[in-house]
């Protein structure tokens, strides 16, 4: 992973927790939540407060939760606003993270000067007992707590002081004076601190991915009408049956792709690749790069001159290692560049390379469909890195070094592809 780290494609947006004060602040949040304290003295956290080192320490990626239905977020520094999310429990965690900092950046900066803030996502359900439970979620209540009960203490202190000034003869109320004094000694003067962070509902959950049940896609509000569950672990016994109130599919069900096409969620129009030509260029290069891995001697893919590229193509074709889909995609690219009509011959060969979400869907739905496409077909590493980073990192470890370097270069050159794909 060193090359990924050095390139900024992994670990670049993690916050280093390395001081005794910050470690204790993080542990105090774990105590409040009811989770085991970490024994580590030095670790990193992402924008959500999730730590890869603590996950490894516990041998549990979901350590920051009381089960998939009860995830938590820990914020101990305002710098987490710029952090990425390395292990979101639900894909909408990204949106919640953005909203929290948009609403309360100033309060977070004030609170984290001396204590930690943690978030609970209340879904009005204690535990997911079956995948169908995910269809019941229509609102997530984002609730805030601080260690040392700082938010509550500030409200109580303001009320005490207000009572002191408003109540006649308050100076003679010994109990009131003692409460004000005790609050000041324990917390300091909180009257003018910017500490109010109010709970808020998050409702934009029409389509999402969750790590529950070994990975589950939930499409609740789309052109289909019926809600859809897609199980990554292929455990559904009713995959493809359409007569129920909702539809379930196993990820490996051959009928799934046809269902997505027939219901207007995906298509393979050439117009999309005319708008985002880099995807088609990368796909052609990716097929060639994958084919080169079948040769006995490794091929250095970075810096491949046009002449050497043609030689590589000739070698692979001669050995029967380069499929017809490569040449068909080249034909498509030439036609699009010349504004010519793409000939239908050979379209079946490249259909899996061209599939993409229908553009007039909601952005959130398209994002989830892109992740599905990356998971089902696995044909484009740009798409996989953008929408399914955990799977990308897992696959990366098994690639030859020259292929790793080439993929890193592609990702660096085409940074920001997400905006083009969901625009």
- Mean pLDDT score, 45-67: 94
- Domain contains 165: no
User: Who has greater pLDDT, 398 or 195?
Assistant: 398
273 in the same domain as 258: no
Tokens of 353: 């390379």
271 in the same domain as 224: no
105 in the same domain as 54: yes
- Mean pLDDT score, 229-255: 92
270 in the same domain as 251: no
Domain stop point among 147, 178, 199: 147
279 in the same domain as 221: no
Q: What is the pLDDT of residue 72?
A: 96
Whole-angstrom Cα distance, residue 114 to residue 405?
43
Q: What is the pLDDT of residue 170?
A: 57
Q: What is the pLDDT of residue 188?
A: 64
212 in the same domain as 138: no
Whole-angstrom Cα distance, residue 240 to residue 4?
39
274 in the same domain as 248: no
Tell me the torsion sign for CA atoms 243, 247, 249, 254. Answer: positive
C-alpha dihedral (297, 299, 400, 375), degrees to nearest 10:
-120
Q: pLDDT confidence of 392, banded at 50, 70, 90? A: confident
- Domain contains 51: yes
Across all residues in the chain, what is the average pLDDT?
Answer: 85
Least confident of 98-112, 155-169, 346-360: 155-169
Q: Which of 127, 190, 137 is nearest to 159 (CA)?
A: 190
- The values of phi and psi at residue 118, to 5°, are -130, 150
Residue 120 exposure: Cα atoms within 13 Å on the Cβ side: 17
Which domain does 231 fall in, by range?
A: 207-262
Whole-angstrom Cα distance, residue 206 to residue 16?
34
409 in the same domain as 327: yes
Render 122-143 in DSSP notation, one character per residue. Answer: E-S-S---SGGGGGG---EEEE
Q: Is the pLDDT of residue 190 over 70?
A: no
329 in the same domain as 300: yes
- Domain contains 199: no
High-pLDDT (> 70) share of the chain, %: 85
40 in the same domain as 78: yes
Domain stop point among 129, 147, 165: 147
Whole-angstrom Cα distance, residue 342 to residue 228?
34
- Domain contains 211: yes
Tell me the torsion sign for CA atoms 347, 353, 359, 364. Answer: positive
415 in the same domain as 270: yes
- The SS3 assignment for 276 reads coil
- Domain contains 154: no
pLDDT tens by residue, 128-187: 999 999 988 889 999 999 887 767 666 666 665 565 565 666 555 566 666 666 655 566
- Domain contains 277: yes
The number of folded domains in the chain is 3
Domain stop point among 262, 278, 302: 262
Q: Is the pLDDT of residue 407 over 80?
A: yes
- Domain contains 328: yes
User: Cα 194 to the chain's mean position, in Å?
Assistant: 30
213 in the same domain as 292: no
- Domain contains 3: no
């Amino acid at each position: 992973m060193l090359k990924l780290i050095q390139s900024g494609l992994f670990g670049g947006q993690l916050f280093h927790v390395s001081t005794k004060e910050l470690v204790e602040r993080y542990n105090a949040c774990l105590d409040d939540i009811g989770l085991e304290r970490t024994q580590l003295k030095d670790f990193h956290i992402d924008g959500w407060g999730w730590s890869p080192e603590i996950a490894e320490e516990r041998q549990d990626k979901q350590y920051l939760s009381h089960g998939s239905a009860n995830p938590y977020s820990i914020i101990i520094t305002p710098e987490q606003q710029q952090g990425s999310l390395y292990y979101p429990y639900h894909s909408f965690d990204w949106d919640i993270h953005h909203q929290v900092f948009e609403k309360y950046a100033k309060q977070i900066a004030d609170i984290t000067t001396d204590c930690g803030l943690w978030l609970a996502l209340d879904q009005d359900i204690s535990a997911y007992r079956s995948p169908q439970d995910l269809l019941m979620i229509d609102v997530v209540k984002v609730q805030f707590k601080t260690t040392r009960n700082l938010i509550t203490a500030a409200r109580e202190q303001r009320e005490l002081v207000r009572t002191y000034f408003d109540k006649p003869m308050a100076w003679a109320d010994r109990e009131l004076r003692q409460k004000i004094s005790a609050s000041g000694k324990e917390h300091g003067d909180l009257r003018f601190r910017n500490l109010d962070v109010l709970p808020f509902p998050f409702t934009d959950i029409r389509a999402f991915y969750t790590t529950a049940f070994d990975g589950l896609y939930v499409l609740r509000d789309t052109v289909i009408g019926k809600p859809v569950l897609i199980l990554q672990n292929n455990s559904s016994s009713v995959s493809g049956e359409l007569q129920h109130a909702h539809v379930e599919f196993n990820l490996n069900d051959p009928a799934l792709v046809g269902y997505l096409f027939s219901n207007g969620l995906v298509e393979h129009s050439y117009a999309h690749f005319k708008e985002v030509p880099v995807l088609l260029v990368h796909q052609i290069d990716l097929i060639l790069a994958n084919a080169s891995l079948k040769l006995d001697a490794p091929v250095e893919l970075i810096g491949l001159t046009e002449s050497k590229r043609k030689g590589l193509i000739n070698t692979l074709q001669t050995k029967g290692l380069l499929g017809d889909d490569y040449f068909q995609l080249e034909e498509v690219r030439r036609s699009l560049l010349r504004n010519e009509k793409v000939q239908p011959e050979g379209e079946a060969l490249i259909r899996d390379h061209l599939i993409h979400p229908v553009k007039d869907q909601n952005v959130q739905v398209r994002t989830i469909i892109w992740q599905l496409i990356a998971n089902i077909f696995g044909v484009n590493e740009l798409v996989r890195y953008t929408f399914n980073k955990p799977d990308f990192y897992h696959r990366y470890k098994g690639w030859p070094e020259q292929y790793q370097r080439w993929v890193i270069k592609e990702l660096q050159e085409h940074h920001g592809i997400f905006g083009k794909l969901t625009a």
